Amino acid sequence: MSVTHTSTLTPAALITEFAWPNPSVSNLDLSCFDGLKVLDLACGSGRNGLWFLARGAEVTFIDRDLSAMSHIVQANAYKLQRDLEAEAGPLLPVEEYDIVLVFNYLHRPLLPQIAKAVKSTGLIVYETFTTQQAQIGRPRNPDFLLTENELKSVFANWQSLHYFEGRLCDPQSTQSSYKAQLIARKPTT
């Protein structure tokens, strides 16, 4: 699977190009998203969660600024305004979501909560910048950049369904970025 970087108006290629497993591969039926609970964490415009919402999933959008999502008014869409980096911030619910999406966001202290928020046999879909990104553009702060194989090691005991680390290019804008991508299944608890 060749996955490229995408614009902010469409869902990430990691989501749209991934061959979602069917029930014969797992007990989580991903051939149909009806009824699945999805968390779009640090969602920005919500572009990735909207892809799942359009396919019947129940999606919770969390961001510190939800102003870009005022147009979303669907029964199975929940919007929570939270500062995920606040020390006294609320914890994510445990074993609540079938799929957790995290794109272009890294706050290392939150990683254990993210892992715990995924239900047993559920999926993490994570894509964010690596340290190489600082060579070509923003972000440059090492707090927001994954080190080599860091994402893979955080979810080392999960079943990796897709992993990539390197340069991605958006064919529409010709902009590129250095990122790590992971889709992994949580082990049975």
Taking only the tens place, the pLDDT of each residue in 82-115 is 998 887 766 899 999 999 999 999 999 999 999 9
The token pair at 38 is 């999805």
| Total number of residues shown for the chain | 189
More confident site: 11 or 128: 128
Asked if the bond preceding 142 is cis, omega within 30° of 0, the reply is no
What is the C-alpha separation between 43 and 38, in angstroms, rounded? Answer: 12
What is the C-alpha separation between 75 and 155, in angstroms, rounded? Answer: 32
Residue 31, classed as helix, strand or coil, is coil
Mean pLDDT of 166-170: 88
pTM: 0.89
Question: Under a CB-based contact definition with an 8 Å cutoff, are residues 75 and 59 in contact?
Answer: no
pLDDT bracket for residue 21 (50, 70, 90): low
